[in-house]
Structure 1
Amino acid sequence: MRRTTPLISVIAAALLLTACGSERAGTHDGRVGASGSAPGTALSGPAVDGVRITSVTIPTASPSASPGAADGVVGAESLTVGGAAGSGVSADYEVTNSGAEELTYTVLFDFTTNGGGAVTNQKVTVGPVGPGRTTGGTVRMAALPPGAPSVTGVKVAQVTKVPAAEAPAASGVCPPSGIRVTADDGDAAMGLRVVGLVLENCGERDYTVTGYPQVTLLDEDRQPVDGVRVLRGSGGIATVTGFDDPPRTVTLEPGERASAGLMWRNTTGFGTAVDVPYVRVRATPRAAPVTITPHLDLGTTGRLGVSAWHRPAQQQGAPGAVSP
């Protein structure tokens, strides 16, 4: 990892303070900049749901400092921070589990401008983390396209955590059950939302599913959500190719996959809007549960459509994959 010299860190601190007044790293918005200390030194600031940024590295492209400045700090107008390529921008973080069970965390980090707006973000999975334990890591910003705004800080934007036994298996890791259940990043168009579920047979024997995934909606405390109907098929939410196809028996050989989908609208009318951060999925009624974190913004619609398991088009040689 490219290390930033103490001088550059002080320069980055000057830029952050010029933009944000007297706000310092780790203040109420959770955004942290290179606050006058070299990377690796502790930064003060509260944790966001157990996640705390401990240091930030933001390299400079072309500091044109005048070393004769009385306080040794270069003015922000002479500094270019976090150039368009974004190379070398990173943050060290700590995750502390203050609960009573082993958890796996999914953390979304925003890389921000002077004003706090997100230029890009990076999602990191951390865990399992045992009760009372702390673990750490480093998140690095990917390259940005030419002309993108300069990045001057990093923020913990979102934290979700699930029991480690229910966390989706990492890529390349096969659970004892021999099946891996994951969710994609979803698709959105005109208020319609579709998230795809993927069931992969990563074991050594054939695996058969029939019908629909078993879905339970959970709130921030991972307790069941009331007042939302889980529908088999679209339930009139929208017409989506293949979503209302009848269930069939699907037998997966090792290495094969099946797909299903979740569909909803985020319309908000009268009443209280419902947001569902967690969804517990069972591939079959007797399968081990897997908790995914799609963050369903259901609005006030009170409906979620679920499609039946089917073979993706590339495996069956015919159309039928879920699409918005």
Structure 2
Amino acid sequence: MRATPLPPLMAVAAALLLTACGSQVPGRSSDESGPTTCDVTPPPKSTATATGGGHGAETDGVRITDVRGPAGDCAVFQVTNPHDKPFRYTVTFRFRPGNGAMPVNAARVLASVAPKATVTGMVDMPAQPRGTAAQPRGTVDGTQVEVVKVRSVPTEEAPAPGGPCPSSGVRVYTDEGDAAMGLRVVSLHLENCGTDTYHIEGYPRLSVLDDAHRKVEGLRILHDGSSVAGSTGADGPPRPLVLKPGERAHTGLVWRNTVLSGTPVNAPYVRVWAKPGAAPVMVTPELDLGTTGKLAVGPWKRTERQ
């Protein structure tokens, strides 16, 4: 998509973001499988604690209820969905080993939490990144665990980069994006995973939402990435596309996080309609729009097979 390569957005965070394993028990998220430290060890006395958005404290509907293992290898948590429809939750935890080793993040995805329901999940502390002195598991070290980020989207609007093809016959999802000198570029991908051809033309329709899923008012959504910056690949005239099963298209979201006067706008979510009449998909590009008040989107372009 991009004519000019940009350094990876949040590269350090992405390197630390690891999906933890879990096991399915009554009341636990159905997407968890396999044993965790919580399951294979009894809950012994531990010097591990939960801090900040931690033990008992609630962060966006998530709270840590227990930290288990001699080294605090596993955290038990609960997620409460206050909405009137099922929501998919992605929760990021931070483990801070008491031996001074580098903090590590672990992400847990709960595919569908029923309306008004509370489910229990477990998350293991990931292994330390290469090059760091790792504390052996099972060693009492006073590990601290906290909830650092909670993101949620309606289950029926959740992006599907893999797995079974959605009932719409198309997948819509974003990548991690690029950032350089305050410029942000996130690719929006569309794949025809159905059995019929898919016709698409022009620009996707966007609605930007804040962390409470409310529409951000007063924001200008501009067509063509060059409205914000050149050489992003999200530019050029719109053209009609006919995607056969298995074929893909892409576009790009482009913005700057310049902060001048006023209150900066941070909006995690974007609701996307690939074309008029299409079912919406809610993606999480983590928009940090500064005080610019604008977001640009390019036209759909065919993605050539590698």
TM-superposition CA deviations, 1:265-300 (whole Å, max 9, x none): 111001111111210001102100011122200000
User: Cα gap change, 1:141/1:307 in structure 2, threshold over 3 Å: closer, same or farther?
Assistant: farther
Unpaired stretches in structure 2, ≥5 consecutive residues? 1-35, 136-140
Distance 1:263 1:136, change over 3 A: same
Secondary structure of the structure 2 residue equivalent to 1:91: strand
Q: d(CA) in 2 for partners of 1:212 and 1:269?
A: 29
2:130 aligned partner: 145
Cα deviation 1:290-313 (Å, max 9, x = unaligned): 11122200000111110111122x
- Aligned-residue CA RMSD (Å): 2.6
Compared with structure 1, are the counterparts of its residues 118 and 96 closer, same or farther at alpha carbon in structure 2 (3 Å cutoff)? farther
Which residue of 91, 95, 102 maps to 2:86?
102
Structure 1: gaps of 5 or more residues? 17-24, 32-43, 61-81, 83-88, 318-324
**1:103-182 matches, cutoff 5 A:** 103-114=87-98, 119-143=103-127, 144-147=129-132, 152-169=143-160, 171-182=162-173
- In the superposition, relative to structure 1, how do residues 285 and 6 fare at CA in structure 2: closer, same or farther (>3 Å)? closer
Contact 1:4 1:59 in 2 (8 A): no
User: Can you list the C-alpha shifts for 1:218-252, whole angstroms capped at 9, x where unaligned?
Assistant: 12332221122111112442222422121112222
Counterpart in the other structure of 1:194: 185
Amino acid at match of 1:262: L
Of residues 150-159 and 253-262 in structure 1, the stretch that sits farther from structure 2 once superposed is 150-159
Q: Paired residue for 1:30?
A: 53
| Counterpart secondary structure, 1:173 | coil
Q: Distance in 2 between matches of 1:200 and 1:269?
A: 38
Report the Cα distance in structure 1 between the residues aligned to 2:75 and 2:59, rounded to whole angstroms.
Answer: 15
Work out whether residues 206 and 252 of structure 1, in 8 Å CA contact, stay in contact via their aligned partners in 2: yes
Q: Are 1:204 and 2:189 matched, yes or no?
A: no
Counterpart Cα distance in 1 of 2:209 and 2:43:
46
TM-score, length-scaled by structure 1: 0.73
Distance in 2 between residues matched to 1:188 and 1:103, nearest whole Å:
29
Match of 1:53 in 2: 64
What is the deviation of 1:59?
5.5
Based on CA coordinates, which of the two structures has the bigger radius of gyration? 1
Deviation at 1:119, TM superposition (A): 2.4
Question: Residue 262 and residue 135 in structure 1: after superposition, are their counterparts in 2 closer, same or farther (change >3 A)?
Answer: same
Q: Who is 2:244 aligned against?
A: 253
Structure ranking higher on relative contact order (CA contacts 8 Å, 6+ apart)? 2
Q: Distance in 2 between matches of 1:240 and 1:106?
A: 33
> Cα–Cα, structure 1 residues 162 and 138, in superposed 2: closer, same or farther, change >3 Å?
same
Q: Return the offset for 1:255.
A: 1.7
SS in 2 for 1:271: coil
- 1:293-312 superposed matches below 5 A: 293-312=284-303
CA distance in 1, matches of 2:100, 2:263: 29
Alignment: residue pair count:
262
Q: For the Cα contact (< 8 Å) 1:234–1:306, is it kept in 2?
A: yes
- How far is 1:6 from its partner? 6.1
Identity %: 47
- Residue deviations 1:137-174, cap 9 Å, x none? 23234432122576922221111222222122362121
